[in-house]
Amino acid sequence: MKFSIIIPAKNEEANIGHCLDSILGVDFDRSQYEVIVIDNGSSDRTPSIAREKGALVHEKPEPTIA
């Protein structure tokens, strides 16, 4: 693995799928990178959508997405 793409998110149900589709749709060897979503306590489907798209999800319920 050469690099990681880290996406902070909170209540991004409407956007996270499109974001991950764009990243995963790039013609680049998938074994060379990982996609990690750091979810900061979403109350919507953000974490489950990210997992469905193949991202590694870490749930951290702090109040901000910094």
CA–CA separation, 10 and 26 (whole Å): 24
Q: Minimal CA–CA distance to 17: which of 49, 55, 43?
A: 49
* pLDDT in the model for residue 57: 98
Considering just the CA atoms, what is the radius of gyration of the chain in Å? 12
* pLDDT in the model for residue 63: 67
* pLDDT in the model for residue 3: 96
* pLDDT in the model for residue 65: 63
pLDDT in tens, 20-61: 999 999 999 999 999 999 999 999 999 999 999 999 999 988
* pLDDT in the model for residue 33: 96
Strands, E, within 1-66: which ranges? 3-9, 33-39, 56-59
